[in-house]
Structure 1
C-alpha cells in the first residue's frame, strides 16, 4: 500500500521527488515542489503530471499549462519545458523508469 498523503505531509523540503513504485517499464513518483525548475527536455520519453494539491504551471516553448488539483497533463517527448509552483504543490508523475529527471 502507498499512502501519498502520509508521505507528502511529512515532507518539509521545497523540492522532493521519490519513486513510489514501478509499473511495467514505468515509475510512479511523488513530487512536492515550490518554486521553479530549470528548462529541460526528454528526447525519448513523455512525462505525465497529476496535481494532488496546490497549483502547477508547466511552461512549454509556446504556451503555459496551469494545473489545479485533480488535473493532469502529458509533456510529449522532445518538448522543452519547466515546472513552476507558486506555493507548495504535491503531484504524481508517471515516466519511463530509465528517464533522467533533469532532462537531456
Structure 2
C-alpha cells in the first residue's frame, strides 16, 4: 500500500507496504540511489510488532505526534533535526533518538539525509496532529 500524501499540506511519499520478508538481504544503498522524492519513507521489514522504515529526506515535515507509539530515529548519513516544543535535537551519522509517544515534534533535514526508523506496526506515518 502506498500513501501519496502529496497535497500541499503533506508533500511526502510514504510507502507502508512491507518491501522485504524474513531472510532477504535489504540493499539500503540501492534504495537510496533509486529515490528521487525529497521526503521518501519506505517500510523495509517487520520485526515482531514493529516495522523498520527507510527515510531519504530533505526539508521539513509537519508538526505532529503519535498518541500511542514511540518513534526511534537513526541517522545513516546527512544531518537530521527534531524540533521539540522546548529544544532542537541535532543528529549526525551514527546518532539515534527516541521520541516518546504523545510528544509534539517536527523532523527536519537541511540536506539530503538517510535515516532508519523503528515504529509500531500500526503507527500512522503522518501523525495525529
Global fold match (TM > 0.5): yes
1:29: how far off? Answer: 0.2
Greater relative CO, 1 or 2 (CA 8 Å, sep 6+): 1
- In the TM superposition, 1:1-104 aligns within 5 A as 1-104=25-128
SS at match of 1:94: strand
Deviation digits for residues 12-33 of structure 1, max 9, x if unmatched?
1101110000000000000010
State the superposition RMSD in angstroms.
0.5
Gaps of 5+ in 2: 1-24
Higher strand share: 1
TM value normalised by structure 1: 0.98
Alpha-carbon distance in 1 for matches of 2:42, 2:97 = 19
TM value normalised by structure 2: 0.79
- Select the structure of larger CA radius of gyration: 2
Alpha-carbon distance in 2 for matches of 1:22, 1:47 = 15
Deviation digits for residues 44-97 of structure 1, max 9, x if unmatched?
000000000100000011111000001100000000001000010000000000
